[in-house]
Structure 1
Amino acid sequence: YTLQGTQLGAEAVIDTLPGYAGSRPVRVGNLANQQVQLDVFGPVVDLVVQLATARGSLSDADWAMVQAMAEAVSRRWHEPDHGIWEERHAPRHHVYSKVMCWLTIDRAIKLGEQFGRELDPSWVPLRDTIATDVLEKGWSDVAQSFTTAYDGDDLDAASLFVGLSGLIDPADERFQSTVTAIEAELRSGSTVYRYRRDDGLPGGEGGFHLCAAWMIEAYLLTGRRTEAEELFGQIVAAAGPTGLLPEEYDPVAERSLGNHPQAYSHLGLIRCAQLLSR
């Protein structure tokens, strides 16, 4: 949206601008605002749970929003989408998106139970249905990991949320194997890449600090505290004298890339600091 709250115009390329360090193309607008991203409900409902728990009360407005989001998931969770990373390809059945749909229903159930709200009778069987779908179609015997989507063996750091969300027990061998596979494929020193596949956009990118934070949490959940502490220290060191983190980090050139500072990177770092201090 614009600052006035109106829709952006169509995406366009400004050929006359070279971009930072020659990082063409320079675009205005964003084609992703036309995409379907079914993962968006999960984090919002999860936040409502945390806020309501901290307050000790659940407002009617927040409960109405959670119900609306659960209804949206019930209608559309089975559809393919463009996923969290806004890739410019045909929609896929992304594992992360399915997990977030599961999380939406799971947290809605727990929120209703915690605060004595009436639950939709379809929510519990729907939660089970989505979980079964992910476990049956999201796992790859070839990759020995939960994959990016149901139609391939490529890996994605976001698929760590199969365990981070609680959909499966972190002690489950499939999650342990997923952490190992993603570590081998996507981790490079102090950073973790989102994926290593063609995403429909030109050029390369660095690793994402947020993905490294997810890896730290996965290490902790799988009993690998030493690796978690080491990676955390490397992220802190990458911040440099400003103490600020960008979106991405190039482990070869050892320099920051992308949006700076990036809120997600700092949120990931703060969460990991909290988890490590427990």
Structure 2
Amino acid sequence: MASTDDLSIDKPDDLPVLSALSPSRHRGAHPPIDDYAFLSDCETNCLVASNGAVEWMCVPRPDSPSIFGAMLDRSAGHFRIGPYGVNVPAARRYLPGGMILETTWQTETGWLIVRDALVLGPWHNNDQRSKTYRRTPMDWDAEHVLLRTVKCVNGTAELEMSCQPSFDYHRDTARWEYTGKVYEEATAVRTIDPSGGPSLVLTTDLRLGLEGREARARTRMKEGDQIFVALTWSDLPAPRTFEEAAQKMWATIECWRQWITLGNFPDHPWRNYLQRSALTLKGLTYAPTGALMAAATTSLPETPGGERNWDYRYSWVRDSSFALWGLYTLGLDREADDFFCFLNDATTGAHGEPVELQVLYGIGGERDIVESELEYLKGYDGAQPVRIGNAAFNQDQHDIWGTMLDTVYLYVKSRQQVPETLWPLLERQVNAAIKHWREPDRGIWEVRGETQHFTSSKVMCWVALDRGAKLAEMHGQFQRATEWYAIAEEIRDDVLANGVTSEGVFTQTYGGNTLDASLLLVVLTRFLPPDDHRVRATVLAIADRLTDNGLVLRYRTETTDDGLSGEEGTFTICSFWLVSALVEIGELQRARHLCERLLGFASPLRLYAEEIDPRSGRHLGNYPQAFTHLALINAVTHVIRAEERREAGQFQPAHSPPIGPV
């Protein structure tokens, strides 16, 4: 029988003993965003602070109302397990190849090891088909269990467990009731709306005490002692003993390792960054539908204490498509299959009629993502408002057709065949780009100011026509391909006439002079070849003039009407885009230096938020961010492949075959 790994740890003489701090149940200031660990079972996810507290979790779906929300308000619920009076661990890591968090604790008298996971196991829906699972089932499936195991590996230590849920974004309080024979099980029910969502069942080999909305336990562990705590929210059985818990933990490790071995990862010092990014992207997928979320959180601020706080727990067509670039690069294409099926579902009505593509969807395919503000929540570090929903769902953003068609082209070009069921969807997107490319929109950055003629939106409309024409050729629609190539050339001529300065630098909007990092897509999408003088001028202008302490801003807020106040940090995806663009124009040494610097900004667990404060290194915005991790994969792969070609005497970036997202 599998069990947790035995770890023999001797207390080092030169390691200072951690002083006893305030009891952990006293909630203090927010931890840094990059302090959180991310756990997922591809149906639910959560964030765990370094003090051992789950501070963000929504069930049954990642976009459901929160049950633990201390990340956004210190009184909005948490679930902590760790040594009593100690809040700073000795070490934290993911077990290699998966999403099992291991935290090592040192107290004055002993050492503890805590492992956390959202449990995966063999596919379990064998008696009844799921009503919501629409994608091809994998061999393993979510068991809807948050499992936490503890082992005392040296000396003795006082262990404390505190589970204090707060339902519906802290709008409905929890009431605990014993539901086991003695003290081993309790159920948290909703006080205001008992039918408003699933109840929570806490199962453990500790002795639970119930104190209002909190379930607590405390015990002294000695060397060799092992305990488990399992939180469940479905009818699937929780483990009843530590042996069962250890078996489920081991099965979860095996599930993740089976998945990661499907990828192609280079034997390189940056390999671990690629693997962690791939695992993060997989963890942000919603397996029942194939959707991929932009991030796991809502309203983590882009500006400390500011109003740039958005809900990213939805599936953006653009973000998801870009994310698949990264997975393709690593040979992980099953997620692409599922995402295309998700898009097909989202753009097909109940009776098979075509439905217009929109900017973003709920992870179940929902179209109306109404935005509202939760004014009673204090917000992360005081940043308000806290928003749920996202009003961008009905914006006009003309880049979405190009990003989707570019991803489809990447998907099918190695197969040289367009799936028959996919062709009507592709044709509709090309026709939409033809119809709207001359119109203003809100651009890739979803500005809330006035619509404008954003150059990058026009470039992506060109991508829609260019990739559509290539796909038409594969599908045997040669006349259609000829027509679409001609329109693509018309769009390119228009962009070059209106979106480029006299110095040959692409501008944010037609007729303007403002730089925008999205113009790095000019080279990454092959709108122009890398050796074109306008490409080089634009890449170097962004590198030299649109950076803060070497990191890339998406634009200067003081010269861009985005409808919001305040500044923001540097956009990490844009910095990784710059790495790829520098490789393309032959600036390999500069690209490597920037890439190394960006990797150095990763969280201790190699995760990234949306932005980085270039002076403090502080992570800003929602977390972990799919957009950032996909750009990391492409940038790192660009540098590695270019260096391999250089060492082989073949490095000619301006003329070499496309690398990554083309």
TM-score (norm 1): 0.93
Alpha-carbon deviation of 1:183?
1.4
Which whole-Å deviations, capped at 9, do the CAs of 1:76-113 have from their partners, x for residues lacking one?
Answer: 11100000111011111111100000001101112222
Which whole-Å deviations, capped at 9, do the CAs of 1:207-261 have from their partners, x for residues lacking one?
Answer: 1111011101110111100111011111111113201111111111211111111
Q: Does 1:126 align with 2:482?
A: no
Taking structure 1 as reference, are residues 16 and 151 closer, same or farther at Cα in structure 2, changes over 3 Å only? farther
Following the alignment from structure 1 to structure 2, what is the Cα–Cα distance between the partners of residues 54 and 245?
31
Q: Does 1:60 align with 2:434?
A: no
Which of 561, 564, 570 is the equivalent residue of 1:207? 570
Which of 612, 633, 655 is the equivalent residue of 1:249? 612
Following the alignment from structure 1 to structure 2, what is the Cα–Cα distance between the partners of residues 235 and 241?
13
Taking structure 1 as reference, are residues 202 and 16 closer, same or farther at Cα in structure 2, changes over 3 Å only? farther
Deviates more, 1:41-50 or 1:107-116: 107-116
Q: Is the 8 A contact 1:93 1:151 kept in 2?
A: no
Partner amino acid, structure 1, of 2:549: G
Taking structure 1 as reference, are residues 202 and 26 closer, same or farther at Cα in structure 2, changes over 3 Å only? farther
Report the equivalent of 1:160: 520
Partner amino acid, structure 2, of 1:101: C
Q: Is the 8 A contact 1:14 1:28 kept in 2?
A: yes
Which of 372, 396, 402 is the equivalent residue of 1:12? 372
Give the 3-state SS of the residue equivalent to 2:457 in structure 1.
helix
Alpha-carbon deviation of 1:185?
2.2
More helix by share: 1
Deviates more, 1:147-156 or 1:188-197: 188-197
Which of 153, 157, 173 is the equivalent residue of 2:533? 173
Report the equivalent of 2:465: 105
Give the 3-state SS of the residue equivalent to 2:531 in structure 1.
coil
Deviates more, 1:117-126 or 1:168-177: 117-126
Which whole-Å deviations, capped at 9, do the CAs of 1:45-88 have from their partners, x for residues lacking one?
Answer: 11111111233432012222221111111111110000011101
Which of 585, 588, 613 is the equivalent residue of 1:222? 585
Following the alignment from structure 2 to structure 1, what is the Cα–Cα distance between the partners of residues 582 and 404?
25
Taking structure 1 as reference, are residues 109 and 225 closer, same or farther at Cα in structure 2, changes over 3 Å only? same
Question: Would you identify which runs of 4 or more consecutive aligned residues in structure 1 move more than 4 Å?
Answer: 1-4
Deviates more, 1:75-84 or 1:114-123: 114-123
Q: Is the 8 A contact 2:523 2:529 kept in 1?
A: yes
Give the 3-state SS of the residue equivalent to 2:496 in structure 1.
helix
Q: Is the 8 A contact 2:608 2:624 kept in 1?
A: yes
Following the alignment from structure 2 to structure 1, what is the Cα–Cα distance between the partners of residues 367 and 401?
22
Q: Is the 8 A contact 1:210 1:265 kept in 2?
A: yes
Deviates more, 1:29-38 or 1:244-253: 29-38
Taking structure 1 as reference, are residues 161 and 20 closer, same or farther at Cα in structure 2, changes over 3 Å only? same
Please show how residues 13-32 of structure 1 align to structure 2 within 5 Å: 13-32=373-392
TM-score (norm 2): 0.40
Deviates more, 1:55-64 or 1:74-83: 55-64
Following the alignment from structure 1 to structure 2, what is the Cα–Cα distance between the partners of residues 51 and 254?
36
**Count, aligned residues:** 276
Taking structure 1 as reference, are residues 101 and 3 closer, same or farther at Cα in structure 2, changes over 3 Å only? closer
Which of 579, 598, 601 is the equivalent residue of 1:238? 601
Give the 3-state SS of the residue equivalent to 2:509 in structure 1.
coil
Please show how residues 32-71 of structure 1 align to structure 2 within 5 Å: 32-71=392-431
Following the alignment from structure 1 to structure 2, what is the Cα–Cα distance between the partners of residues 84 and 123?
23
Following the alignment from structure 1 to structure 2, what is the Cα–Cα distance between the partners of residues 22 and 182?
33
Alpha-carbon deviation of 1:190?
5.1
Q: Is the 8 A contact 2:504 2:533 kept in 1?
A: no
Report the equivalent of 1:185: 545
Q: Is the 8 A contact 1:37 1:97 kept in 2?
A: yes
Q: Is the 8 A contact 2:417 2:474 kept in 1?
A: no
Give the 3-state SS of the residue equivalent to 1:145 in structure 2.
coil
Which whole-Å deviations, capped at 9, do the CAs of 1:3-27 have from their partners, x for residues lacking one?
Answer: 6625233x33333323212222222
Gaps of 5+ in 1: none
Which structure has the greater CA radius of gyration?
2
Following the alignment from structure 1 to structure 2, what is the Cα–Cα distance between the partners of residues 144 and 6?
41
Give the 3-state SS of the residue equivalent to 2:413 in structure 1.
helix
Which whole-Å deviations, capped at 9, do the CAs of 1:133-172 have from their partners, x for residues lacking one?
Answer: 000000123x752111104211100012222221212211
Partner amino acid, structure 2, of 1:129: E
Q: CA RMSD in A?
A: 1.8
Following the alignment from structure 2 to structure 1, what is the Cα–Cα distance between the partners of residues 474 and 539?
32
Following the alignment from structure 1 to structure 2, what is the Cα–Cα distance between the partners of residues 36 and 151?
21
Report the equivalent of 1:76: 436
Taking structure 1 as reference, are residues 144 and 18 closer, same or farther at Cα in structure 2, changes over 3 Å only? farther
Give the 3-state SS of the residue equivalent to 2:414 in structure 1.
helix
Report the equivalent of 1:140: 501
Give the 3-state SS of the residue equivalent to 1:242 in structure 2.
coil
Partner amino acid, structure 2, of 1:262: Q
Following the alignment from structure 1 to structure 2, what is the Cα–Cα distance between the partners of residues 57 and 226?
39
Q: Does 1:117 align with 2:477?
A: yes
Partner amino acid, structure 2, of 1:245: Y
Partner amino acid, structure 1, of 2:490: T
Partner amino acid, structure 1, of 2:483: S
Q: Is the 8 A contact 2:374 2:388 kept in 1?
A: yes
